[in-house]
Chain A
Amino acid sequence: MAERILDGTVHEDDVPPGYRDVVRVLASAAASPSLVPPVEAATLATFRSVHRPVDAPRRRSVLSKLLGAKAVAAAVLGTAAVGTAAAAATGTLPDAAQAKAHHIVAAVPDAKPAGHGAAAVTSRTRGGAGASDHPALPGVAGLCQAYGSGNGGENGNRLDATAFGRLAAAAGGAGKIGAYCRSVAASASHPAGSAAGGKDLSGACRSWQAADKDGRAPAAAVLARLTTAAGGADAIRPYCVAVLKEDKGPSADRPSAAPSESPRGNAPTAPPGNGHDQGDRPSHPAPPTPRG
Chain B
Amino acid sequence: MIGAGFGGYLADARDGDEYAFAVLWRDLNPALLRFLRVVAPATAEDTAAEVWLEVCRGLDRFRGDEAGFRSWVFTVARMRAIDAARQAARRPVRPLPPDQLPDRPAADDPAGAAVEAQATREALALIAALPPDQAEVVALRVIAGLDAAQVGEIVGKRPGTVRVLAHRGLRRLAQHLAERTGV
Contact = CB atoms under 8 A, between A and B. Distances in A.
Interface residues of B, number: 99
Interface stretch (A27-35, A80-88, A106-114, A132-140): A27-35
Interface string A19-53: 10110011111111111111110111011101111
A124 interface: no
B147 A265 contact: yes
Contacts, number: 267
A219 B18 CA distance: 28
A-B pairs with lowest CB-CB distance, top 4: A53-B16, A220-B145, A272-B61, A288-B156
Contacts of A8: 142, 145
A259 interface: no
Contacts of A46: 49, 52-53, 56
Interface string B68-100: 101110011011001100000000000000000
18 contacts: A5-B170, A6-B142, A25-B127, A25-B173, A28-B120, A32-B31, A38-B104, A43-B49, A51-B57, A148-B8, A150-B8, A181-B5, A182-B2, A186-B4, A271-B64, A272-B72, A288-B154, A288-B155
B22 A19 contact: no
A185 to B, nearest CB: 6
B181 A21 contact: yes
Which of B3, B56, B138, B178 neighbours the largest number of chain A CB atoms within 10 Å of its CB? B3
A147 to B, nearest CB: 10
Nearest to A164: B19
Contact of B120 (A19, A31, A150, A227): A31
A42 B49 contact: yes
Contact of B5 (A38, A185, A215): A185
Nearest to B119: A28
How many A residues touch the partner, as a band? Answer: 35 or more
Interface of A: 2-3, 5-8, 18-19, 21-22, 25-40, 42-44, 46-48, 50-56, 59, 148-153, 155, 157, 175, 178, 181-182, 185-186, 215-216, 219-221, 223-224, 227-228, 231-233, 262-265, 267-273, 276, 278, 281-285, 288-291
Given A6-B138, A50-B53, A270-B63, A152 B82 contact: no
Contacts of A40: 22, 25-26
Contacts of A48: 18
Contacts of B104: 37-38
Contacts of B119: 28, 31, 216
A222 to B, nearest CB: 9
A285 to B, nearest CB: 4
